[in-house]
């Protein structure tokens, strides 16, 4: 993928060489399946396979409460990484927000809303983006907000705290040398901030539990 730095591409090739099947998702600490803010989501650590039918039935028999999930990301690599997490939301009421209407084909049957694409170099568009995200937040009133970046996700994390949502920020795997600016800001607001590189994790900072890709 052209948006990944060389270090990421090399690591991805190594992990693919070890992969016995298709991996998805988010949030497995080592080899365990965890309930994360009510979402059964898994992050590929070593060799974590796709969730099995038995695991799904176990979750259903445990009566896991259905959540309103707002999953939000910018386009490109941010969106691709968010889509790797999509199986985690399948039992929940998930709404997607992104910056390109072309991504509607990626989430058939789910609500998806398009917001302004903006960054810190376009302050007026950032203001517009903030209002658009706030409007969606007030209308949806999610239980959980999850984002893989960048600006739209940061606003969602901030406004999500205002409406009482649990918030999860996953810094892009492309940020191999340092946590992104948005990720550093998210540390002040998000309940959980995750990095996909173990050497970037630190006490009081982002946590590392595995990688999406």
* Whole-number pLDDT of residue 27: 36
Instruction: Report whether 94 contacts 71 (CB < 8 A).
Output: yes
Provide the pLDDT confidence category of residue 57 given band limits of 50, 70 and 90. low
Give the mean pLDDT of 184-208. Answer: 94
Residue 25 in tokens? 């998702």
* Whole-number pLDDT of residue 45: 39
Mean pLDDT, the chain, as a whole number?
Answer: 79
Provide the pLDDT confidence category of residue 211 given band limits of 50, 70 and 90. confident
Residue 39 in tokens? 């979402």
What is the tens place of the pLDDT at every residue in 112-145?
999 999 998 999 999 999 999 999 999 999 999 9
Specify the fold of 6-208. Answer: Rossmann fold (3.40.50)
SS (H, E, C) the chain: CCCCCHHHHHHHHHHHHHCCCCCCCEECCCCCCCEECCEECCEECCCCCCCCHHHHHHHHHCCCCCCEEEEECCCCHHHHHHHHCHHHHCCCEEEEEECCHHHHHHCCCCEEEECCCCCCCCHHHHHHHHHHHHHHHHHHCCCEEEECCCHHHHHHHHHHHHCCCEEEEECCCCCCCCCCHHHHHHCCCCCEEEECCHHHCCCCCCEECCECC
Question: Cα–Cα distance between 107 and 114 in angstroms, integer?
Answer: 13
């Amino acid at each position: 993928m052209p948006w990944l730095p060389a270090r990421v591409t090399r690591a991805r090739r190594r992990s693919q060489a070890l992969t016995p099947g298709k991996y998805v998702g988010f949030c497995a600490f080592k080899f365990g399946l965890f309930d994360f803010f009510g979402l059964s989501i898994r992050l590929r650590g070593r060799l974590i396979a796709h969730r099995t039918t038995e695991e799904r039935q176990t979750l259903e028999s445990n009566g896991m409460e259905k959540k309103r999930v707002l999953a939000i990301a910018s386009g490109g690599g941010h969106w691709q990484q968010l889509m790797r997490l999509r199986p985690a939301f399948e039992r929940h009421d998930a709404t997607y927000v992104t910056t390109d209407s072309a991504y509607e084909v990626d989430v058939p049957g789910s609500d998806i809303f398009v917001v302004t694409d903006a960054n810190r170099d376009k302050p007026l568009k950032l203001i517009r983006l903030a209002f658009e995200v706030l409007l969606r937040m007030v209308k949806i009133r999610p239980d959980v907000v999850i984002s893989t970046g960048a600006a739209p996700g940061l606003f969602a994390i901030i406004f999500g705290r205002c409406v009482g949502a649990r918030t999860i920020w996953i810094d892009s795997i492309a940020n191999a040398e340092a946590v992104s600016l948005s990720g550093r800001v998210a540390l002040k607001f998000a309940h959980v901030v995750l990095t996909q590189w173990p050497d970037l994790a630190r006490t009081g900072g982002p946590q590392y539990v595995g990688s999406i890709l």
